[in-house]
Amino acid sequence: MIVKMKKTATNEHYERLVAFLNDKGFEIKDVSSEHVRIFGVIGDTATIEPGDLLAFDGVSEAFRIQTPFKKASRTMKAEDTLVRISDSLTIGGDQTVIMAGPCSVESYEQLDTIAQAVKAAGAHVLRGGAYKPRTSPYTFQGLGLEGLKMMRDVADKHGLAVVSEITSPDLLDVFEQYVDIMQVGARNMQNYPLLKALGQSRKPILLKRGLSATIEEWLMAAEYLLAGGNENVILCERGIRTFETYTRNTLDIAAVLAIKELSHLPVIVDPSHATGKWHMIEKASLASLAVGADGLIIEVHHDPERALSDGAQSLKPEKFSVLMDSLRELAPLLGKQIP
Ligand code: PEP
Ligand code: MN
């Protein structure tokens, strides 16, 4: 961290700040010139906020030169993290992993129909929300535990893994029992009690980017999981809120590139929530793979008009199957394979 003092700063201002930082165990490396008093703070600066130093008299600027996330950073770990889902499925290596299924689990028959279709098309993981964090309390809230059990049954029947959203630390035991990947939804990306609880688990976590989260805030949320000891973290870009309203969210395709530079963690894309429009899913998926996404999570429904949530962004099984064909053509060109 670099600190620059104001021209008007006195020696006493400088010494008070240095004493404070020394007290916290930091070393000071003074690089002042005759015109400006400036120094580096050496040590584990992730534990202090540069902005907090402005509370000291005489401080003009303070900024980081290292990222505040340590365990999530590529500087700390150069090689890509591989998250093992099953004996045959790993996210973050040369496999492109496809998760597909309805937004919400609505009934056994609905889930079974969709699971059968996505499996036949080549998907690996069944998605489906049982605990739904809906914007309106008056819309379908999910089937809860019953829905989660259906996810397990149906996925086992069709040879798929399970990803589903966990909304509270109280649910950790049941999620440990029934799912293979625990999804943290966009609305819960900064739910710190939830992140801390999931940090204690060793199950893979799919951490969605918050509605208006910066890349740094997203990686800091991942840092909570890693700091707790759970290294099985998969990031998911699902679109962010911008001034644009034509699409449901704005797919931040460059975020995939940024994550690959900044972090060793795998990153997948959710083109369904990012665009909100079923006819945009195929092209957005291909673009996501092209920039290096390790996989996709896609909403599929056999009867989108009657879906209890997110019908407008759900692909019908036939369209999903066409998309899988396109992905299978693209993946080898990118040095990836779809298992
Ligand atoms: C979902 O996956 O259905 C969902 C609610 O996603 P998000 O948290 O990204 O809005
Ligand atoms: Mn949805």
CATH number for the domain harbouring residue 50: 3.30.70.1140
Q: State the pLDDT at residue 238.
A: 98
Residue with the smallest CA separation from ligand 1 atom 3 is: 103
301 CA → ligand 2 middle, Å = 11
Q: What is the 3-state secondary structure (H, E, C) of the chain?
A: CEEEECCCCCHHHHHHHHHHHHHCCCEEEECCCCCCCEEEEECCHHHCCHHHHHHCCCEEEEECCCCCCCCCECCCCCCCCCEEEECCEEECCCECEEEEECCECCCHHHHHHHHHHHHHHCCCEEECECCCCCCCCCCCCCCCHHHHHHHHHHHHHHCCEEEEECCCHHHHHHHHHHCCEEEECHHHCCCHHHHHHHHCCCCCEEEECCCCCCHHHHHHHHHHHHHHCCCCEEEEECCECCCCCCCCCECCHHHHHHHHHHECCCEEECHHHHHCCHHHHHHHHHHHHHCCCCEEEEEECCCHHHCCCCHHHCECHHHHHHHHHHHHHHHHHCCCECC
Q: Indicate whether 77 belongs to any domain.
A: no
Ligand 1 mean position, distance from CA 273 (Å): 7
| Residue among 184, 250, 273, 310 to mutate when testing ligand 1 (max atoms within 8 A of CB) | 273
In the prediction, which pLDDT does 295 show? Answer: 98
Asked whether the beta carbons of 180 and 204 are under 8 A apart, the reply is: yes
pLDDT at residue number 272? 98
Q: Which residues in the chain land under pLDDT 70?
A: none
CATH number where 186 lies: 3.20.20.70
Range of the domain at 55: 2-63
Same domain, 28 and 167: no
Beta carbons within 10 angstroms of residue 233's beta carbon: 28
Residue 204 CA from chain centroid, whole number: 12
Both 27 and 127 in a single domain?
A: no
For residue 14, the CA-to-ligand 2 centroid distance in Å is 53
Cβ–Cβ < 8 Å for 62, 54: yes
Q: How far away, in angstroms, is 310 Cα from ligand 2 center?
A: 5
Give the ligand whose atoms come closest to the C-alpha of residue 313: 2
Q: Which tokens belong to 52?
A: 């907090």
82's CB contacts (< 8 A; 6+ apart) are 90, 91, 92, 93, 266
Residues 121, 10 share a domain: no
The preferred substitution site among 103, 241, 301 for testing ligand 1, maximizing ligand atoms within 8 Å of CB, is: 103
Question: Any residues with Cβ below 6 Å from ligand 1, and which?
Answer: 103, 129, 185-187, 208, 238, 270, 273
Residue 223 lies in a domain: yes
- Are residues 108 and 18 part of one domain? no
- Rounded Cα distance between 123 and 110, Å, is 17
78, part of any domain: no
Give the model's pLDDT for residue 313. 98
Measured in degrees and rounded to the nearest 5, phi and psi for residue 73 equal: -85, 145
For residue 73, is it within any domain? no
Q: Please state, in angstroms and rounded to a whole number, the distance separating the CA atoms of residues 144 and 204.
A: 20
CA dihedral 331, 332, 336, 339 (to 10 degrees): 80
Is 74 part of any domain?
no
156 and 275 in a single domain? The answer is yes
Q: Does a structural domain hold residue 48? A: yes
Picking from 120, 128, 131, the residue whose alpha carbon sits closest to that of residue 152 is 128
Q: In whole angstroms, give the CA distance from residue 91 to residue 128.
A: 19
- Which residue among 104, 270, 309 has the greatest number of ligand 1 atoms within 8 angstroms of its CB, and so is best to mutate? 270
| Ligand 1 atom nearest to CA at 185 | 8
* Å from CA of 189 to ligand 1 middle: 11
| End position of a domain, from candidates 12, 35, 63 | 63
% of the chain residues with pLDDT over 90:
98
Vertex 184: Cα angle to 90 and 282 (nearest 5): 65
Q: Find the 5 Cα to ligand 1 centroid distance in Å.
A: 45
Ligand nearest to the CA of 311: 2
Contact 216, 238 (CB under 8 A): no
Q: How many CA atoms lie within 13 A of 175 on its CB side?
A: 26
Are 194 and 302 found together in one domain?
Answer: yes
Last residue of a domain, one of 63, 93, 115: 63
Distance from Cα 254 to the centre of ligand 1, integer Å:
20
End-to-end CA distance of the chain: 45
In DSSP terms, which residues pair with 267 in a beta bridge?
235
C-alpha–C-alpha distance, residues 183 and 200, integer Å: 15
Residue 55: predicted pLDDT: 97
> Are 107 and 248 part of one and the same domain?
yes
pLDDT of residue 171: 98
Report pLDDT for 261.
98
151 shares a domain with 38:
no
Q: Which amino acid is at 322?
A: V
Nearest ligand, CA 272: 2
In angstroms, what is the span from residue 7 Cα to ligand 2's centroid? Answer: 54
Looking at ligand 1, which residue's alpha carbon is closest to its atom 9? 186
Would 339 be classed as within a structural domain?
A: no
Q: Which ligand is nearest to the CA of 132?
A: 1
Q: Which ligand sits closest to the CA of 236?
A: 1
Residues 241 and 324 placed together within one structural domain of the fold: yes
Same domain, 114 and 26: no
Q: Identify residue 327 by its one-letter amino acid code.
A: L
- Give the domain-ending residue among 63, 92, 107: 63
* Whether residue 239 sits in one domain with residue 106: yes
Residue of the CA atom closest to atom 5 of ligand 1: 185
Whether 139 is in a domain gets the answer yes
What total of structural domains would you count in the chain? 2
CA distance 66 to 73: 10
- Asked whether residue 142 falls in the same domain as residue 215, the answer is yes
